[in-house]
Amino acid sequence: MRQQLSLVMMLALAAAPSAAQSQGQRSPEQAKSMRFAGMDQNRDGVITRQEWRGSAQSFQVHDWNRDGILSGDEVRAGARRPNEPRDPDPFDSDQREYPFTDWTESGFRALDHDRNGRVTRDEWHFDLESFRRADHNRDGWLSRVEFLGGDASADDDRSDRFEFLDTNGDGRVSRAEWHGTTDRFAALDDNRDGVLSRAEVRGGSEPPPDLFTSVDVNRDNVITPDEWHWSLGSFDERDANRDRRLSRGEFGGAALDTRSGAYRQGYDRGLLEGRQAGKEDRQNKVGWDLEGQRELEQADSGYQGNLGPRVEYQSGYREGFRRGYREGFGPDRTDR
């Protein structure tokens, strides 16, 4: 009787799920195929905001469905963001370095202007960091496979920005702050010092090309809708004479004297502080770091309530700062 009972208990234990499985915990096999597994403190296969080691912006990059947790394909190694239909982003400044997010077949076609099956630096009109991290073999152009992330060496974390990863704000990304693969970290770490500088992640320390010239692919000094990569509403707002062509002046937006007083006050303050920041970065050999400037986050330096609406002041400050940074960083900086 005792032997029969023991046999029944053994069979029941064998058939029962493990304690980890019954509590919803991941198996060792699941852990191997899980991205960010080291952050999953309770080993349930889900990463909450509290478990995430990094900035809120970085978390949002990976929370594809905006449900406040990372789960399913969001943490599965090799998974890609769903190619959901998306509206083009708005365009608000000719001085801004726009991040690129449309890593889809349609996104590739929109950039491949000459239809030769690859995107060159000349066809790229967005932040240089995205290009550098997608150009896995560093030959200066993106193949369709590189662009879509279909090769084994793909950077599976390329949408996470340098400033999002640099959680301690020291201007470097350590291995502990890095969320991608070890191989991609090593590929970017040119000097093999175990940390990534912004120049290493961007692929250089010089300013990006003038945005108008970059977008004007056929170099005819006007930008037409087929060359435009942002919302059509943004295009129409700038097309003052409604001829479906943007001159350099229209591309730059409304004249400063047509803006509100708060905008102009913010612009003037941003211009001065941007020039100083650009000059300091050049002199200190920091390299071009416009979008990483902390001043652009709050953009309210010098603001007082009597100047007008804060949001208009901030908008003017950002525009002035970006323009001033290029001026201060540029070759004519000695007389600034």
For residue 325, pLDDT over 90 is answered with: yes
Read off the pLDDT band of 171 (50, 70, 90): confident
The residue segments making up the domain with residue 12 are: 2-75
Same domain, 182 and 113: yes
For residue 34, pLDDT over 90 is answered with: no
Contact 232, 210 (CB under 8 A): no
Alpha-carbon gap, residue 308 to 291, rounded angstroms: 26
Same domain, 69 and 20: yes
Same domain, 216 and 197: no
Same domain, 62 and 124: no
DSSP 126-166: S-HHHHHHH-TT-SSEEEHHHHHT-STT--TTTTS-HHHH-
Instruction: Tell whether 80 is covered by a domain.
Output: no
Instruction: Tell whether 97 is covered by a domain.
Output: no
For residue 334, pLDDT over 80 is answered with: no
Read off the pLDDT band of 32 (50, 70, 90): low
β-strand partners of 142: 119
Alpha-carbon gap, residue 111 to 57, rounded angstroms: 26
Other Cβ atoms within 10 Å of 130 Cβ, number: 22
Q: What pLDDT is attached to residue 22?
A: 40
Rounded to two decimals, the pTM is 0.78
Contact 47, 71 (CB under 8 A): yes
Same domain, 187 and 170: yes
DSSP 198-223: HHHHHT-SSPPPPHHHHH-TT-SS-B
Segment 3-13 shows an average pLDDT of: 49
How many domains does the structure of the chain reveal? Answer: 4
Same domain, 26 and 65: yes
Same domain, 8 and 57: yes
Q: What pLDDT is attached to residue 150?
A: 67
Same domain, 285 and 198: no
Q: What is the largest CA-CA distance in the chain?
A: 99
Question: Which of 31-45, 107-121, 195-209, 265-279 has the lowest average pLDDT?
Answer: 31-45
DSSP 8-state assignment for residue 237 = H
Tokens of 6: 């023991």
Q: What pLDDT is attached to residue 16?
A: 46
Read off the pLDDT band of 173 (50, 70, 90): very high
Instruction: Tell whether 82 is covered by a domain.
Output: no
Return the C-alpha torsion angle 50, 55, 61, 64, nearest 10: 10
For residue 30, pLDDT over 80 is answered with: no
Alpha-carbon gap, residue 332 to 275, rounded angstroms: 11
Contact 206, 285 (CB under 8 A): no
Instruction: Tell whether 83 is covered by a domain.
Output: no
Same domain, 193 and 268: no
3-state SS, residue 112: coil
Alpha-carbon gap, residue 7 to 217, rounded angstroms: 77
Mean residue pLDDT of the chain comes to 86
Q: Looking up tokens 């942002």, which residue turns up?
A: 230
β-strand partners of 223: 246
Q: What pLDDT is attached to residue 29?
A: 58
Identify the domain boundary among 31, 55, 75. Answer: 75
Read off the pLDDT band of 103 (50, 70, 90): confident
Instruction: Tell whether 36 is covered by a domain.
Output: yes
